[in-house]
Amino acid sequence: MTLIKSISGIRGTIGGKVGDNLTPVDAVKFASAYGTFLKRNINKDKLKVCIGRDARISGPMIHNLVVNTLIGLGIDVIDLGLSTTPTVEVAVPLEQADGGIILTASHNPKQWNALKLLNAKGEFLSGADGAQILEIAETEAFDFALVDDLGELTENNAYMDIHIDEVLALPLVDTDLVKSKKYKVVVDGVNSSGGIIIPKLLEEMGVEVVKLYCEPNGHFPHNPEPLKEHLGDICKLVVDEQADFGIVVDPDVDRLAFISNDGEMFGEEYTLVAVADYVLSKTPGNTVSNMSSSRALRDITLKHGGDYQASAVGEVNVVELMKSTHAIIGGEGNGGIIYPELHYGRDALVGVALFLTYLANQEQTVTQLRASYPQYFMSKNKIELTPQIDVDAVMKQIATIYSKENISTIDGVKIDFEKEWVHLRKSNTEPIIRIYTEAPTQNEADVLAERFVGELKQIAAV
């Protein structure tokens, strides 16, 4: 059982002891810190915050605690109810709100939940802002409102539909062309809010939808991280239904993975590659992804005459570099598409709509499209941490061992070899060290990963 406090919010497992897990007391404490932060930094008589949640079993409990905490601080709340992370991000500026909170632990299993915190732009808070909130939470310097100054609650359940409308209105989304193709698509919504919003979007675009795990009851039928080893059911169903492809999202719908028509994974890394290929073909420009993402995006960007740069891992870091380099599309290799034309946040809906439009412009299957891209293969591994492990010391020793290679220590340690790379970093969301590798073949990527798992274990004596 774990409680992780970071600049991007608070994430933990439900139940247990206060301060060790995400208990009701911790939810109230960090909601109070966020509300207090807004009151200190925004000079307005009345503040307004949008709140939405995914379909986790603990969602209604945490939701009620957070909503009423903000009301108790004198902040008005727009309750979006069952929602997605990108939907809340879209809602904040449309409502001219001062911030937003999404209650979701993203790809973590059902025992987890989290408070993900947004600013008035509907973007994740900066590191400095997040640090200030953690400090407020530590001191518990809260000042709640008197009875006549309590916040007001407004419910608005329309924002998933509004989000769909905003996506369909994008200039590069061609709904009429997609409708003419009469596609058939299988959707795995992992029994969360993606099971509602993705089929709705597809139906608006004239796509026949086959639903798999689209009941938003929070009982995840498989590990909710959209990786190959968790997706056997949809891979089989795409073939059985003779579908054009499959769509998989995580519980809060900011990660997107495709299944090709042959039942094979399109590859989370290639979600961004394919969408960027389409966007760059229409509007040339620069791109950004994080250090753990495939080299394929770099190759596609150079093909279209743009400049590619890599940021530290984390959506905030990707967005910051996108803004400074005027990137027209970016994201993360975990299937996160960031398209500033709508908003600066990972958005599976944007990815689906742009991918469908791109596919409709191609005279080829999804399998053929995937084969047209530079072929890289990744291996994603992790090592569980114990309190005894000095991660910084382990990373420093690895950097010393490979000091003659092309190394970056902006975020953990990334070692770029001539034809392959490895990225080692401590996770922001789980007590683990992540080991990502990429190489020209899957076997080479796996061998490289095994080698570094072994070296890390030996150094850390795990």
User: Which residues have a catalytic role annotated?
Assistant: 106
Dist CA 347 CA 102 (whole Å) = 14
| Positions of E strands within 167-312 | 184-188, 208-212, 245-249, 256-259, 286-290, 308-311
Question: What are the beta bridge partners of residue 381?
Answer: 435
Residue of 273, 400, 343 whose CA lies nearest to 100: 343
DSSP 8-state assignment for residue 147 = G
Type and span of the H or E element at 64: helix 59-72
Assess contact for 99 and 128: CB atoms under 8 A: no
Dist CA 196 CA 254 (whole Å) = 14
Dist CA 409 CA 425 (whole Å) = 10
CA separation, residue 389 to residues 273, 318, 386, 424, 459 (Å): 36, 29, 6, 15, 10
**Length of the chain in residues, anyone?**
462
Show Cβ contacts of residue 344 under 8 Å, excluding neighbours closer than 6 positions.
Answer: 121, 122, 123, 319, 322, 323, 338
What does residue 217 show for φ and ψ, rounded to 5 degrees?
-105, 0
Q: What share of the chain is helix, strand, coil (3-state, %, to 5)?
A: 40, 25, 35
Dist CA 296 CA 71 (whole Å) = 47
Question: What are the beta bridge partners of residue 346?
Answer: 338
- Token readout for 196 is 């509602």
Question: What are the beta bridge partners of residue 146?
Answer: none
DSSP-assigned letters across all residues of 387-450: TT--HHHHHHHHHHHTTTSEEE-SSSEEEE-SS-EEEEEE-SSSSEEEEEEEESSHHHHHHHHH
What does residue 112 show for φ and ψ, rounded to 5 degrees?
-95, 150
- Token readout for 283 is 């509007």
CA separation, residue 362 to residues 208, 299, 353 (Å): 19, 20, 15
